[in-house]
Amino acid sequence: MTNDMKIAEVPDEPLEDFVIDDAYVSWQRREGVRVIEDYAFGNLADIELSPWPRKGGAGAIINVPNEYLPNDAHLVEIAAGGQSEPERHMYEENVYVVSGHGATRIWLDGQAPDMFEWQEGSFFSIPLNAWYQHFNVSSEPARYVSVTDAPPTMRRMRGRWQRRHMRV
């Protein structure tokens, strides 16, 4: 009986770590928006934001540094009379309006759009994979915070969803 087993050679130098790029962190970098990692926040109306043109003004992504809370939050301020770019995604999004008033247009491919109005204190959800666009119809900035399950969804899909479901 012959032994065809080969023994692996031991490398002269240490092996490099095998790293899989985090799709969610990569998305944050591409967005180019401020990322806040903290446990508690003051008044959401007072948090400093950075430009986020795709969202219609300024914003920040909020991550609570706790592995048991995988969701994130998007704090967005739409300029007076401004609007977000149309977008859709495969993650859940629940929106609470902090200040201002406006309207949101929602539509599915091949269907007529629906539109509804919102104001300070309004709460609504964006349907999965539906296109939507926010409009600030006032002369003052409008600010909202949305809680999403984007981090686990993007990590599960490893970024494939972006090529299919989002205009950036």
Reported as a single tens digit per residue, the pLDDT across 109-129 is 999 999 999 999 999 999 999
d(CA 25, CA 42): 25
Tokens of 32: 């180019």
What is the model's pLDDT at position 102? 98
d(CA 79, CA 67): 34
d(CA 105, CA 121): 19
Q: Which residues have a Cβ under 8 Å from the Cβ of 75 and sit 6 or more positions away?
A: 44, 47, 49, 59, 60, 61, 62, 143, 144, 145
Residue with token string 């939507």: 132
What is the model's pLDDT at position 165? 47
Residues of the chain with pLDDT under 50: 161, 165, 167-168
Q: Which helix (H) or strand (E) holds 98?
A: strand 93-99
What is the model's pLDDT at position 93? 95
What is the model's pLDDT at position 164? 55
**Which one-letter amino acid corresponds to residue 56?**
G
